């Protein structure tokens, strides 16, 4: 390799690093901006000044209740759930080598949903127990997927097809539970079909927060290995990576993220699906996009919730907005991918 | 397969169908004995309670036969045209497309009668089928099962969000839709059956007539053209028949998944790859499956009932998984 070549490679590497940093910082700023907007906007708009005072513990009549009891949990859950879905979705997509193989298409999210719906509607329990059972159920579905598709190569299409089958079955169970539920109300049903940030209380937040911090870090650290896994099984092994163990860890931590998020807000449509591809577009290939994907997820959820709350006469739950916004992008992605033969 | 054997098979399945029809009349929240069914059917006895129960069960039984047969044939046709083992209305997202159009019709155009439902469902099913197949067949390799399944699942998810957005502000529509979207034969009325029947008959007839051309198509487009089959025309006609069958059924029953997936596969295992046998046998098989699913739903859900669509999804999804596991990875 000549010296010039070497320099060019180093320069490119630096260049990509700088791009990664700039994009990530910009995404972070946008996330914070939307979070602040979530606190400011509402039936009554409070000035940033008031919001800050309330957050610092000052008692202001009306504002304290609106911000601390209603808007803060909503904002925090949107933020955390977005990060969780974004990171986990991106991990699944990268690992399976197919942007369409996100957990909400291959049944992992549905696995958690079923458990959560069952707990809430049939067993009448709530809180962290639901999240825990959702995690177990999500892990079970992921394990089942893994076991059933073991015969072929793990990244192959078989897993995706089997996942779609499992998804169909789980959705039938959810429909059944919703139809049988006594006196369930319409918003409750929609929450479990689409996801919604309505009615989240502060007590739901700490558990979710811990999970996102622990497993989010875990995913971000393993993101480097994910890049190697992407090269394919043989290369990964040759480069000294224990492919099976890394994959297991990544799946575990992603399922934890998804299950906790799903148990809190329901499956917010398309966030897990869209965050990864958008992050790749922004950051460019060659860098780990786990962290940017998390921010993109948060931006999608917060932005969609703001739109859902204020853009129409009726308040739409966040999942419907992400679903509708996501649809055109999804189709674009499908068309582009199939043209390149990426999904085959 | 030899002629006599297929006839034996056909007669055998007709007998099974007859048995399941009788059970469908007998089982439910209240068990009616065989003697009483016969009384109710063949004497004009309107007075006894059992006779009334049986009368109530006749339309749904008839409809489950018709709907099951249509879905079975529809699946067989779609699999033959796309030469794809997992083509099924529920997987291709056709059902969700029909749902979206029906829901929009109810919400925006205030449609109410089942004949209006049918047109909306048919258009929705047709548009979605073309769309999903179009996207799935882009790029190299044509419409591989995995591409089709993903395109279908993703389109379904997108359309489901639109459906939710339409129904959310309208509680009355929501309530009607909630029960429609599971897929059930329980709401069948004579009026509804008579409205969908012409569509189904047309679909069935086209399906039966196109079987020999579809046999040629199975050999590949080149060979089929060499044998004098107009491949484009036969694809369009059979696709039209498939959409007619599943769209009209969906309009009345709601989306019932997986009948069109399981039945043709089972029939192919039993009577070989000849479409001339697969299509009629799929009709009988679909009818048996849906009738039995409906009975199971009534027995499990007692004293209420479990919608047939849920039962078929429970039987059908494992079949999809088995197909995916058995298929060679290369072909996925």
CB distance from B226 to chain A under 8 Å?
Answer: no
Residue A107 zone, left/alpha/beta (φ > 0; ψ -120 to 50; rest): left
| A163 contacts A101 by C-beta, under 8 angstroms | yes
Calculate how close chain B gets to A165, using CA atoms only, in Å. Answer: 5
Give per-residue burial for B166-176: e unless 16+ CB within 10 Å, then b: bbbeeeebbee
Residue B148 zone, left/alpha/beta (φ > 0; ψ -120 to 50; rest): alpha
- Residue A323 and residue B157: Cβ atoms within 8 Å? yes
Number of neighbouring beta carbons within 10 Å of residue B6: 18
Calculate how close chain A gets to B218, using CA atoms only, in Å. Answer: 21
pLDDT band at A343 (very low <50, low <70, confident <90, very high): very low
Give residue B206's pLDDT: 92
DSSP A100-152: T--TTTTTHHHHHHHHHHIIIIIS---THHHHHHHHHHHHHHHHHHHHHTTTS
- Tell me how many residue pairs between chain A and chain B have CB atoms under 8 A apart: 178
Mutation target to probe the B interface, by most B beta carbons within 10 A, among A157, A319, A333 is A157
Q: For chain B, state the CA radius of gyration.
A: 20
Distance between the two ends of chain B, CA-based, in angstroms? 29
**Nearest C-alpha neighbor of B101 from the set B255, B238, B245, B236:** B255
Number of neighbouring beta carbons within 10 Å of residue A196: 23
CB distance from A144 to chain B under 8 Å?
Answer: no
Q: Which residue has the tokens 């990244």?
A: A155
| pLDDT tens, residue order, chain B (332 aa) | 556 677 888 888 888 888 888 888 887 767 777 777 777 677 766 667 777 777 778 888 898 999 999 999 998 988 888 777 777 777 777 878 888 888 888 888 877 776 777 888 888 888 888 888 888 777 666 666 667 777 787 788 788 778 877 877 776 777 667 666 667 777 777 888 888 888 899 999 999 898 888 888 888 778 888 888 887 788 888 888 988 888 888 888 877 878 888 888 888 877 778 888 888 889 999 999 899 888 888 888 766 777 888 888 887 778 777 777 776 544 43
Give residue A344's pLDDT: 38
Dihedral of CA atoms A140, A146, A148, A149 in degrees, nearest 10, equals: 160
Give mean pLDDT, residues A39-58.
Answer: 77
CA–CA dist A322, A328 (Å, integer): 11
| A63 contacts A247 by C-beta, under 8 angstroms | no
CA–CA dist A104, B42 (Å, integer): 53
- From chain A, the residues in CB contact with B149 under 8 A are 160-161, 164
- Residue B150 and residue A334: Cβ atoms within 8 Å? yes
Would you state the structure tokens that stand for residue B49, as one six-digit string?
């309670």
Residues of B (288-307) whose Cβ lies below 8 Å from A: 304, 306-307
- From chain A, the residues in CB contact with B178 under 8 A are 178-179, 189
CB distance from A198 to chain B under 8 Å?
Answer: no
| A105 contacts A171 by C-beta, under 8 angstroms | no
Q: Which residue has the tokens 């047939």?
A: B308
Q: Give per-residue pLDDT as tens, A72-130.
A: 888 888 899 999 999 988 888 888 777 777 888 788 888 888 888 888 777 777 767 77
Q: What is the ipTM of this complex?
A: 0.72
Partner-chain residue, chosen from A169, A314, A340, that has the shortest CB–CB distance to B313? A169
CB distance from A147 to chain B under 8 Å?
Answer: no
**Nearest C-alpha neighbor of A133 from the set A256, A301, A267, A5:** A256
| B277 contacts B76 by C-beta, under 8 angstroms | no
- Residue A172 and residue B321: Cβ atoms within 8 Å? no
- From chain A, the residues in CB contact with B138 under 8 A are 335, 338-339
Residue of A nearest to B301 (CA): A180
- Residue B320 and residue A326: Cβ atoms within 8 Å? no
- From chain B, the residues in CB contact with A166 under 8 A are 317, 321
Residue B139 zone, left/alpha/beta (φ > 0; ψ -120 to 50; rest): left
CA–CA dist A330, B73 (Å, integer): 31
CA–CA dist B260, B328 (Å, integer): 22
Residue B79 zone, left/alpha/beta (φ > 0; ψ -120 to 50; rest): alpha
CA A163, B180, B307, B239 torsion: positive or negative? negative
CB distance from A37 to chain B under 8 Å?
Answer: no
Mutation target to probe the A interface, by most A beta carbons within 10 A, among B84, B139, B170 is B139
Give residue A153's pLDDT: 52
CA–CA dist B68, B283 (Å, integer): 7
Q: Give per-residue pLDDT as tens, A149-181.
A: 765 554 456 777 788 788 888 888 887 777 776
Mutation target to probe the A interface, by most A beta carbons within 10 A, among B95, B143, B158 is B158
Q: Residue A17 to residues A222, A277, A286, A291: CA-CA distances in angstroms? A: 18, 19, 9, 14
H helical segments located in B168-230: 171-180, 190-209, 211-217, 221-226
CB distance from B331 to chain A under 8 Å?
Answer: no
CB distance from A314 to chain B under 8 Å?
Answer: yes
- Contacts for A72 with CB less than 8 Å, ≥ 6 apart: A39, A55, A202
Partner-chain residue, chosen from A169, A273, A330, that has the shortest CB–CB distance to B317? A169
CB distance from B127 to chain A under 8 Å?
Answer: no
H helical segments located in chain A: 3-40, 48-55, 63-64, 72-96, 108-117, 128-148, 157-180, 186-194, 205-230, 233-238, 243-265, 271-283, 290-310, 318-340
């Amino acid at each position: 390799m000549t010296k010039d070549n070497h320099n060019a490679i180093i320069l490119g590497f630096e260049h990509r690093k700088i791009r990664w940093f700039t994009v990530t910082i910009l995404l972070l700023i946008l996330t914070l901006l939307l979070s602040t907007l979530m606190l400011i906007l509402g039936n009554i708009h409070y000035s940033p000044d008031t919001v800050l005072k309330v957050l610092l513990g000052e008692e202001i009549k009306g504002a304290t209740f609106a911000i601390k009891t209603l808007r803060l949990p909503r904002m925090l859950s949107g933020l955390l759930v977005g990060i969780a879905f974004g990171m986990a979705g991106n991990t699944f997509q990268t690992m399976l080598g197919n942007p369409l193989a996100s957990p909400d298409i291959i049944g992992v999210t549905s696995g958690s949903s079923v458990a959560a719906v069952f707990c809430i509607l049939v067993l009448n329990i709530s809180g962290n127990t639901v999240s825990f059972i959702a995690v177990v159920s999500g892990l079970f579905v992921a394990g089942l997927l893994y076991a059933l598709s073991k015969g072929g190569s793990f990244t192959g299409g078989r897993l995706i097809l089997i996942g779609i089958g499992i998804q169909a079955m789980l959705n039938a169970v959810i429909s059944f539970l919703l139809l049988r539920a006594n006196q369930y109300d319409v918003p409750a049903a929609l929450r479990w079909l689409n996801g919604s940030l309505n009615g989240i209380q502060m007590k739901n937040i700490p558990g979710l927060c811990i999970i996102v911090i622990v497993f989010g870090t875990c995913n971000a650290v393993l993101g480097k290995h994910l890049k190697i896994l992407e090269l394919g099984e043989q290369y990964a092994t040759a480069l000294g990576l224990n492919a099976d163990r890394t994959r297991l860890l990544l799946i575990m931590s992603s399922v934890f993220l998804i299950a906790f998020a799903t148990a809190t807000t329901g499956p917010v449509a398309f966030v897990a699906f869209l965050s990864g591809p958008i992050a790749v577009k922004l950051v460019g290939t060659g860098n780990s996009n786990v962290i940017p994907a998390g921010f993109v997820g948060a931006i999608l959820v917060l932005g969609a919730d703001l739109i859902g709350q204020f853009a129409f006469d009726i308040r739409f739950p966040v999942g419907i907005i992400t679903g509708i916004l996501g649809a055109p992008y999804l189709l674009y992605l499908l068309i582009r991918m199939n043209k390149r033969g990426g999904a085959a | 397969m030899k002629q006599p054997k297929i006839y034996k098979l056909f007669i055998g399945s007709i007998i099974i169908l007859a048995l399941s029809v009788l059970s469908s009349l007998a089982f439910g929240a209240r068990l009616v004995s065989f003697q009483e069914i016969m009384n109710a059917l063949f004497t004009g006895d309107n007075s006894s309670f059992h006779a009334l129960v049986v009368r109530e069960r006749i339309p749904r039984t008839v409809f489950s036969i018709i709907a099951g047969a249509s879905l079975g044939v529809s699946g067989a046709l779609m699999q033959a045209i796309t030469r794809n083992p997992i083509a099924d209305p529920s997987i291709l997202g056709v059902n969700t497309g029909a749902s979206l159009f029906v829901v929009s019709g109810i919400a925006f155009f205030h449609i109410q009668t089942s004949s209006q439902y049918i047109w909306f469902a048919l258009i929705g099913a047709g548009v979605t089928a073309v769309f999903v197949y179009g996207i799935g067949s882009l790029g190299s390799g044509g419409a591989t099962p995995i591409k089709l399944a993903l395109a279908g699942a993703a389109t379904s998810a997108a359309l489901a969000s639109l459906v939710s957005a339409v129904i959310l502000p309208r509680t009355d529509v929501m309530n009607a839709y909630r029960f429609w979207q599971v897929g059930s034969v329980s709401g069948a009325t004579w009026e509804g059956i008579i409205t969908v029947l012409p569509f189904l008959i047309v679909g069935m007839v086209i399906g039966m007539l196109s079987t020999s051309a579809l046999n040629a198509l199975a050999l590949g487009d080149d060979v089929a053209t060499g044998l004098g089959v107009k491949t484009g025309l036969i694809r369009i006609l059979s696709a039209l028949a498939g959409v007619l069958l599943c769209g009209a059924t969906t309009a009345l029953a709601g989306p019932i998944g997986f009948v069109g997936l399981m039945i043709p596969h089972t029939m192919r295992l039993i009577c070989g790859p000849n479409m001339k046998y697969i299509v009629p046998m799929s009709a009988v098989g679909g009818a048996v499956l849906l009738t039995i699913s409906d009975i199971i739903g009534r027995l499990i859900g007692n004293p209420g009932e479990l919608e047939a669509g849920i039962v078929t999804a429970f039987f059908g999804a494992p079949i999809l998984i088995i197909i995916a596991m058995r298929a060679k990875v290369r072909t996925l």
